[in-house]
Structure 1
Amino acid sequence: MLNKKFSPERQSAFEARFEAQKIAFGPVVFQCVRYAWKRGMLQAIADAGERGLSVEELAASGRWTVYVLKVVLETCMSAGVVYLNEGRYALDKAGFVILTDTITQVNIDFNHDVCYQAMFDLERTLDAEQPLGLKVFGDWPTLYQGLAQLPEPARSSWLAFDHLYSDTSFPAIMPDVFATAPRRLMDIGANTGKFTLAALAFDQQVAMHLVDLPGQLAVAERALADAGVRERARLHPIDLLDAAAALPSDMDLIWMSQFLSCFSEAAIASIFRRVAAALGPRGQVLVMDTFWDRQRYDIAAYCLINTSPYFNNLASGNSKVYESTDYVRLAEAAGLKLLTARDGIGYCHSLLRFGKAE
């Protein structure tokens, strides 16, 4: 699926040096561009149209000094966010994307509010394979134990990031979920209950079983109660990192969405073994996730690959965005076999269907 941008290209020494400097100053550029967006500079320039605005005209609004405008907009210009034409700043194409593209805005908020401060400890985290950057928010072994208590704006930005990619996919995959007419459906990693609510609305007969940490299940339970469907669901507070914690049995279908990427390969192997044991005679497993090797466009692969340091530094210390072949290998070792794979769901999801190996 992946294009060849990440393969070796012929690059001049001068071009390579320029690209290296972009990396060196990346954190500085990020903060200046974010400031220009959040503080309204980019919107003011966009409102002026192609003619743009001079620094003096922008300063006349009283919102920024000439000094601040020059510092910020010159950096934005270097990044292709604005351009300077006869002494006036106008919005460039990248600036238009920042102002209008939801994915870009969610990614900026996520990286600033959740990841930025914590990334200072990435070196130590990689050496230890423990989420040492998490200390900027609280004293939890992983992010998931503290997610319900995550301070603002980090919590809202985390949820927006998580839900943007999953919510757009749920409507498209409901026919896949109910293709085998499951009556007992287990949602592992139920989080806030959005998938469970979608499944209950799609099929009036299905009984849902939600598996997650107690804090997440409390949020999901409130959502189910508010929707008037609490009686159709059973909650199972389980820490999947406990290899001895068994799952409810005799399931027709087990669903995991953006869940296994929260764990190390060893933990994923353990989860797959318990999932296989929890299936009924003809039960199946559906795994929906964002695999960087199954993306049509390099831009999607780029975003996914660069989400892995978050998983390392904040989420768990030893998880990442995986290749699809990693999941298939670990599932097969647990006694499952890949039946089908479907790509192009939502923004960047793929759906893997597994059954019991014969």
Structure 2
Amino acid sequence: MPENKRFQTELSAFQARFEAQKIAFGPVVFQCVRIAWKKGLLVSLAQKPMSSAELMDEHQISSYVLDVLLESCLSAGVVSIENSLWVLEKTGYMLVNDKLTQVNFNYIHDVCWQGLFELEACLDAEKPLGLKHLGPWATIYEGLSDLPEPAKTSWFEFDHFYSDSAFPEALPKVFASKPKRLMDVGANTGKWAMLCLNYDPQVEMTLVDLPIQLNVAQQNLSGAGLIGRVSLAPRDLLDPALSFPKGHDAIWMSQFLSCFSLVEIGKILARAAESLDNGGSLFILDTCWDRQQFDIAAYCLINTSPYFTAMASGNSKIYRADEYIACAEQAGLQVTQIWDGLGISHSLLQFQKIAK
């Protein structure tokens, strides 16, 4: 287990009671703050302090609507009142200007909100029962290309916002050993493959994912004129009868293993090890919450895990690095290096196949 991670200092009983009420009313505050942002109230206050009458006139809303929204924002420290004017506080500026905050708000509301009501049942069954609010799939990965809007946009913005920030720093580390054949497991839309193919004009790539996802990757790579160095290997990664293509000297997995249970991860890594040439490397890029420098990152990552329970797979989460390492060792892979702090919150773990 990781060392105990503290997110706050010691509280008095009175303070602790207040913090408990913040949790109890958290869903209410979330919606009021979100609506105040979406309706443009916070954007207006970012320009200058305004009176209730000015806000009502500018946004054509009643005093009732204004009070319900902004009084909740007031309780959360998003706004304040000074000389009868509403004033935007620093927390409110994050809603207006900070991409991380905006991406997280949209993701929680558009993708997770309704499904999280089913969380207790999902935990009991270890199945994503909340996914029914978005579509009829067994897991969200089967329906990513067909998610309804705005969930589709919010899902991909969330996923890419976190992973894309780490890609430029990961590229030279992966290509330091000049791999000739690189397999991308969980290729998604082909964004990482495109970066690799442009980075090294000699590398050949194999993309492994569900057929519906590979169709998207194929379209994107074809449009970029890069499909000539790409092989597509449609796979249901949960089917133990399907092995990975062999003959690769490097394998890449980005934000992929968190989609599976630890038992499933062990089986996937075992098949990956079998497909690697001796001395080949496996790279896992992921957001391990225990290797974060700042509590804000660990907080966001830990509280992303219920999404996997309710909406994605029902039995996966944001894992600790040591959990990946243990699964890899059982599969015959030895960790050789770990880089932390890539992009916003990523760690890159490099493993080498142990010669038999």
2:38 corresponds to which residue? 38
The aligned counterpart of 1:272 is 269
Aligned residue number for residue 151 of structure 2: 154
Native 8 Å contact 2:259 2:317 kept in 1: yes
How many angstroms apart in 2 are the aligned matches of 1:171 and 1:231? 23
1: CA distance, partners of 2:98 / 2:214: 32
2:278/2:354 contact within 8 Å kept? no
Aligned counterparts of 2:31 and 2:153: Cα–Cα separation in 1 = 19
The answer for the alignment partner of 1:141 in structure 2 is: 138
Give the drift of 1:282.
Answer: 2.1
Q: Secondary structure at the match of 2:238?
A: coil
1:59 paired to 2:56: yes
Give runs of aligned pairs for residues 144-183 of structure 1, distance below 5 A.
144-183=141-180
Gaps of 5+ in 2: none
Residues 7 and 295 in structure 2, CA contact (< 8 A), matched pair in contact too: no
Which residue of the other structure, out of 325, 342, 351, is the alignment partner of 2:348? Answer: 351
Q: Distance in 2 between matches of 1:315 and 1:175?
A: 31
SS for the counterpart of 2:335 is: strand
Aligned partners of 1:138 and 1:146 also within 8 Å: yes
Partner of 1:79: 76
Partner of 2:206: 209
Q: Distance in 2 between matches of 1:57 and 1:108?
A: 27
Paired position in structure 1 for 2:322: 325
What are the residue-to-residue correspondences of 1:119-138 with 2, within 5 Å? 119-138=116-135
Hey, what does 2:23 align to over in structure 1? 23
Secondary structure of the 1:11 match is coil
Looking at structure 2, the residues matched to 345 and 147 of structure 1 have their Cα atoms a distance apart, in angstroms, of 26
Aligned identity (percent) is 54
**CA distance, structure 2, for counterparts of residue 86 and residue 8 of structure 1:** 33
Q: How much does 1:60 deviate?
A: 2.2
Amino acid at match of 1:270: K
Cα contact 1:3–1:297 (8 A) shared by 2: no
Q: Aligned ranges for residues 102-121 of structure 1 at < 5 Å?
A: 102-121=99-118
Q: Distance in 1 between matches of 2:59 and 2:347?
A: 49
Change (3 A) 1:140 1:62: closer
> Could you report, residue by residue, the CA deviation over 1:5-45 in whole angstroms, capped at 9, with x for unpaired residues?
52784211101110000000000000000011111000111
Query: 1 CA distance for matches of 2:238 and 2:124?
Result: 21
1:289 aligns with 2:286: yes
Question: What is the alpha-carbon distance in structure 2 between the residues aligned to residue 173 and residue 68 of structure 1?
Answer: 48
The Cα of 1:92 is off from its aligned counterpart by: 0.3
How far apart are the structure 1 equivalents of 2:57 and 2:207? 56
Matched with 2:301 is 304
**Which residue in 1 is equivalent to 2:219?**
222
Rounded to whole Å, the distance in 1 between the matches of 2:61 and 2:249 is: 60
Residues in 1 aligned to 2:25 and 2:9: alpha-carbon distance in whole angstroms: 23
Give the Cα separation in 1 of the matches to 2:60 and 2:165: 37
Partners of 2:45 and 2:87 within 8 A in 1: yes
Structure 1: which 5+ residue stretches go unaligned? Answer: none
Count of aligned residue pairs for this structure pair: 354
Q: Give the letter aligned to residue 106 of structure 2.
A: D
The CA distance in 1 between the partners of 2:7 and 2:89, in whole Å, is 29
CA distance 1:288–1:62, change in 2 (3 Å): closer
- The amino acid that maps onto 2:10 is R
What's the offset of the Cα at 1:58?
1.2
Structure 2 CA distance for aligned equivalents of residues 61 and 167 of structure 1: 38
With structure 1 as the length reference, what TM-score do the two structures score?
0.97
Q: How does 1:256-271 map to 2 (within 5 A)?
A: 256-271=253-268
In the alignment, the residues of structure 1 paired with residue 251 and residue 107 of structure 2 have an alpha-carbon distance, to the nearest angstrom, of 29
Q: Which amino acid in structure 2 is aligned with residue 187 of structure 1?
A: D
User: Do the aligned residues in 1 keep the contact of 2:335 with 2:352 (CA within 8 Å)?
Assistant: yes
TM-score in terms of structure 2 length: 0.97
CA distance in 2, matches of 1:43, 1:153: 21
| C-alpha contact (below 8 Å) 1:308/1:320 kept by paired residues | yes
Q: Is the CA contact (8 Å cut-off) linking 1:182 and 1:252 kept in structure 2?
A: yes
